Amino acid sequence: MVVLLAARAPEKAQCGPRMDAPTERRDRTCRCPRAVRPWTLGFCLATFLIVLLIGYTLTSVLAIALAFAAMSAWAPIGWVRSRARQRRTALREVWPDVVDHVSSAVRAGLALPEALVQLADRGPEDLREPFAAFAADYRATGRFSDSLDRLKTSCPIQSRTG
């Protein structure tokens, strides 16, 4: 019995189901969780009921009213996904400017933390807020690696390879 316990491979601790990397990155980029939020489901239900009521009032045919209500219930989720896609596209277009600014600042002799701090004032509008938080955190703690880790979790970064 002791031999069997010793031969058993150690198990890895997992906090929950692991998402695939591209899905996880996409969800972090658009700053929304993978699961649909309760208010979104409530809004879908309200849209369904309103369209069902209007459709049944206008047509007096329950099947047609249900069909249109089911289609319209999907509209809020489709709208949120569309906005997330637009945000990902907009952020994908501004990251080359960020890389160009940081590389120019480092070539000019500026330290990497200071180059990132400058992005709060001179960087693209969409990314100024996360870099301003990085600047405040870095000035408060003086720890570049900790501040950079917080920037990575708060800033929408998407790899071109994934």
Give tens-digit pLDDT for 144-156.
999 888 888 877 6
92/18: higher pLDDT: 92
pLDDT greater than 70 at residue 32: no
Query: Strand runs (DSSP E) across 77-136, as ranges?
Result: none
Query: In Å, what is the CA distance from 117 to each residue of 34, 37, 110, 132?
Result: 31, 34, 11, 7
CA distance 69 to 65: 6
pLDDT greater than 70 at residue 45: yes
- Confidence band for 16, pLDDT divided at 50, 70 and 90: very low
Instruction: Map tokens 């972090």 to a residue.
Output: 28
Q: Is 19:34 a contact under the CB 8 Å cutoff?
A: yes
Q: What is the mean pLDDT of residues 124-136?
A: 89
pLDDT greater than 80 at residue 38: no
Report the share of the chain in percent with pLDDT over 90: 36
**pLDDT at site 91:** 82
Residue 156 per-residue DSSP state: -
What lies within 8 Å, CB to CB, of 156 at 6+ separation is 28, 29, 30, 31, 87, 88, 91, 130
**What is the average pLDDT value for the chain, to the nearest integer?**
78
CA distance 77 to 72: 10
- Confidence band for 35, pLDDT divided at 50, 70 and 90: low
Least confident of 1-10, 31-40, 41-50: 1-10
Does the reported pTM lie above 0.75? Answer: no
